[in-house]
Amino acid sequence: MEWLIGFFEASGLAHLAWGNLLMIVVGCVFVYLAIARGFEPLLLVPIGFGIILGNMPFEPGMGQGVYDQGSVLSYIYFGVITGIFPPLIFLGIGAMTDFSALIAQPRLILLGAAAQLGIFFTLLMAIFLGSRLPFLDLTGDDPLRLLRAAAAIGIIGGADGPTAIFIASRLAPDLLGAIAVSAYSYMALVPVIQPPIMRLLTTREERLIRMPPPPEVNRTQRILFPIIGLIVCVLIVPDTLPLLGMLFFGNLLKESGVTERLAKTARSALIDSVTIMLGLTVGASTQASNFLSPRSIAIFALGACAFAISTAGGVLFAKFYNLFTKNKINPLIGAAGVSAVPMSARVAHSLAQAEDHQNYLIWQAMCPNVAGVIGSAVAAGVLLVILR
């Protein structure tokens, strides 16, 4: 009998708390949304399973979690907390991204910049709430902690998971789990969150606007773009080097035409491997004991606001731009200025197709979409320069 009691006390059942059960349910919901509804399975399956994995109860001192020194998960999580994984993700993104739409339509870059509005609006909102609601625990003893935490939360508005992780690891490591899960959750839910905002802010006549196809871009332009883009961005904001350096390097591998094997590895095996490790350990970092708190709930709420404001900012700027030009822009593509590539571009195209089956906006939408990737990285670099 004593043996049975000891076995039970060492089992997970003896240490199962309501918080663990709640987070396991959340993880199952993520997996369901990925498999049954098709919401970004490459992101939500690893994160959802990681949430389940990280909330498996075990006897204290066993050293199995991401926060336990020497555990397998902690070694993998090292790539998250030190900011190693995000640049590798950007390398893969660069190797699979076609910047031709951006090169051919430089005026649409402004939409990608306007869609970063949510980052700075939410930064101010987080400062306001954090300074007035002590239970959020965003201030601490360091007078700069509130600003750093607010900046890390605000970057969720860029809808760029790797950038959010990179900034959080530098400015607010204690918020990394909540920020990472929030950023990737909203990235996956782009088809759910963006359409109502886009419909609310546009008229049917605006959604029916047709845009001419972009002009052709030659090989020389495609090769020069990552080199010139890197030099310009890094000279202006040096802290963008880790992210944009890898993004443009990956793109050069793709466009050069002589490194196809390297480009193929970057956009397939490498990015897939990093995504598995990043998603799994980010999910596993959401242990109920330190994740279920008013602070985490506030981060999720602020992240939703950031994403919604960024979407609205891109749409409204497109409408404003149309007041001063004869070549009208379909405001739907303004929402593609967030960095969720290519999901938000597809959403803009789908909404235009719902109004007019002959209206093809995917290439026009890709311009602010890829510009948003660069814009969110530049915004992150500016915040690092100011707050590091």
Per residue in 312-331, pLDDT (tens digit) is 999 999 999 999 988 899 99
* pLDDT surpassing 60 at residue 49: yes
User: Which pLDDT value is given to residue 367?
Assistant: 92
Residue 2 pLDDT class (50, 70, 90 cuts): low
User: Which pLDDT value is given to residue 174?
Assistant: 87
User: Which pLDDT value is given to residue 5?
Assistant: 61
Give the C-alpha separation, 270 to 59, whole Å. 35
Nearest to 243, CA basis, from 365, 373, 377, 370: 377
User: Which pLDDT value is given to residue 57?
Assistant: 81
* pLDDT surpassing 60 at residue 352: yes
342 and 197 Cβ atoms separated by less than 8 Å: no
Q: Tell me the Ramachandran region of residue 142: left when phi exceeds 0, alpha when psi lies from -120 to 50, beta otherwise.
A: beta
The pLDDT tens digits of the residues spanning 152-184 come to: 999 998 888 899 999 999 998 889 989 999 999
User: Which pLDDT value is given to residue 68?
Assistant: 78
* pLDDT surpassing 70 at residue 62: no
Residue 166 structure tokens: 């990179």
User: Which pLDDT value is given to residue 9?
Assistant: 56
Terminal Cα-to-Cα distance of the chain (whole angstroms) = 58
Lowest mean pLDDT among 44-58, 164-178, 286-300, 369-383: 286-300
The pLDDT tens digits of the residues spanning 37-46 come to: 888 899 999 9
* pLDDT surpassing 80 at residue 10: no
The pLDDT tens digits of the residues spanning 271-294 come to: 999 999 999 999 999 888 778 888
